[in-house]
Amino acid sequence: MAYWSELPPELLTLIAQRLETQFDVLRFRSICRSWRSSFLPKLYPLPKRLPSSKKTKAGCRFSLNQITIATLFLVRLPPATENRSNQTDPSCWLIKVSDGKPLNPLTDSGLNANLPKVLDLINFQVIELGHGYVGRYSVHINYRFRGLYRNYIEKVEILRLSPDSDDFMVVGLFSHGVEYLALLKSGENEWTVLENMHGIQDIVTFNNKFYAIEQSGRTIIVDQFFSVGFIQHAVGSPSNRKFLVESSGNLLIVEMIFLENSESNAGFRIFKLDEENPKWDEIKSLGDQILILGLHQVVSVSAYEFHWGDQGNLIFYSIDGSVEDRVMYVFDLEKGISIPLENCPVYCNLFWPLPVWLNSPESVVSSSMEATPGTEIANLGICEDVGSSFSSS
């Protein structure tokens, strides 16, 4: 990971402008040593409107009208106070920023109405954990007497083709009854559309290639020269939801298994890519990694970032209802237990409400930290015993 203090001043200014443009509710008053990211931010010179596709065999014409970046931030107390936070008011807070709006990272529900007008982060560490892209698509359906239009939102992936240039490649999902993977290189005016795709559930970039996972469990691999390959061996069940995420240098499939006789809980299986063979191998542990499953974005982060030592092996997710009504859960891979976050304040408060130390004057925060004894790492996993067990065997 690279600390922001290592970057030249002109780049820091550019990043600060990007952040303030992206999230004007938060007032970032300085870019200092507390800023850190696992990658350098990249501003892709995307055109305001990408070209429409040719008509497909189904008589549809697709357009990708807008690409929005969604960034996941971790805000935490600096080292001097990080061990003084109590159990129900943790020293970390997660927030997602997309299209200038603060969102809950799991549900995408808006937080604007519940945030203070100004959030001064100069005294805290702010870490960019990852980002993803969401596209606003439209499809023109060519009926005999009149055309119909439909708009939808779906994930987009962008691959930088060279570290020494601004060349990039976009992969989108064109969907209306039939699904297509659509590829476009920077500077080109015509999409390359790959047909015969079935129920694509996620796309991701990994080691300079695009990977897509179908509902059936088949994996599609596309390189920057548009060569297409497959991992034919199906992973998981067609009835389960699948996600792709890079974690600790490996590509994973995360299979969400909706439990029988339960509408509000899920189990999980994890598969790791073996690039040499190629095939997927099931793994039983994430080690110190924690997965955050958003609606259009999955991020893997080490438990050490939350000051939990090596106590990872957790998956945060939400299911059921509309965006505003989705229920948040945490799944413990080691125990095979799913727990509603509302029953586990240590985990729930990572997302909401705003920590006291982040919503208070510096003097109030300092005094409250002085008065609060430290919390042992071993106690962080204690929640009310109301989970549902899961076994993949």
- C-alpha span between 288 and 309 (Å, rounded): 8
Say what the pLDDT of residue 204 is: 96
3-class DSSP state of 82: helix
For residue 268, what are its two tokens?
């999980």
Question: Which amino acid type is present at position 365?
Answer: V
Assigned token pair, 308 = 């939990």
- Whether the upstream peptide bond of residue 353 has omega within 30° of 0, thus cis, is yes
Question: What are the pLDDT digits (tens) for 372-392?
Answer: 333 233 333 345 444 555 555
- Return d(Cα 250, Cα 211) in angstroms, integer: 13
Sites in the chain below the pLDDT cut of 70: 1-51, 53-59, 79-90, 112-114, 117-119, 143-147, 261-264, 320-325, 359-393
Residues near 188 by Cβ (< 8 Å), separated by ≥ 6?
Answer: none
Cβ atoms of 319 and 329 within 8 Å: the answer is yes
For 359-370, the pLDDT digits (tens) are: 665 433 333 333
